[in-house]
Copies of this chain bind each other. A is one copy, B any other.
Amino acid sequence: MDALADLPVDTLLELAGVFFAALSGGLAGVRKSFDVFGVLVLAWATGLGGGVLRDVLIGATPPVGISSWEYVATALAAGLVIFFFHPGVERMRRTVIALDAWALAFFVLLGTTKGLEHGAGPLASVIVGVLTGIGGGILRDILVGEVPLVLADRQLYAIPAFLGAGVTAALWSAGLLGVATQAGVVLLVSGLRLLSLRLGWVVPSAATGWSGRWGSRGRMGL
């Protein structure tokens, strides 16, 4: 626990985000009757896959998602928790959705910032920031043989992510990215996500336009 105590607060927050994202990945594996190794791989891919894609795209190799003990152990721990206690996690559906909204916000903020600090430029940084937030879920869905939920289910998930990444890049360019503005970005992204869920806001699809309602499956497959 000494090692944990030495970690800065934002790393602890990011590890918490990895944990909650990895939970949804492990759960997708449990539902597909994957074996314990498959559940761990899905937890890892969902919790850390977005960051791995980011690091490969900006040339920051090896990605922290495969080189950092804290990150890898956190994702695998979530996979083990799901493997042994998945009925309990399924009952906490609402809690997990709220935690996932917060993890999305945190991933987007940190992913965009890492791109900018690595010299990737504002556009590429916004894209890898969004990818940090949504890439893990896309990998999860491809690995279990499903069409990526984020592309089809009309919920506001990518839009808060893009908004947060854009605001982060603008603040960074203006030299205004500090603790307070970072907290503002997290509130903006997670707040918009949760507000859209509560109010039933959707984006249009080509088939239905603006009408229609929520699909029966929630964002995280929960």
Contact = CB atoms under 8 A, between A and B. Distances in A.
Interface of A: 29-30, 32-39, 41-42, 52, 56-59, 61-63, 66-69, 72, 83, 86, 115, 120-121, 123-124, 127-128, 138, 142-148, 150-154, 158-159, 202-208
22 contacts: A33-B152, A33-B205, A33-B207, A34-B205, A35-B205, A37-B151, A37-B159, A37-B203, A38-B205, A41-B151, A42-B151, A52-B57, A56-B57, A56-B61, A57-B62, A58-B62, A59-B59, A62-B120, A62-B121, A66-B123, A67-B121, A69-B123
User: Taking each of A41, A142, A205, which has the highest tally of chain B beta carbons within 10 Å of its own beta carbon?
Assistant: A205
B67 A37 contact: no
A127 B59 CA distance: 18
Nearest to A127: B66
B66 A124 contact: yes
Contacts of A58: 61-62
A36 B38 CA distance: 31
Nearest to A154: B35
B150 A38 contact: yes
Contacts of A207: 30, 33
Given A35-B152, A72-B127, 20 more contacts: A30-B206, A33-B152, A33-B206, A33-B208, A34-B206, A35-B202, A35-B203, A37-B158, A37-B159, A38-B151, A41-B158, A62-B115, A62-B120, A62-B121, A66-B128, A67-B120, A67-B124, A68-B123, A143-B147, A143-B148
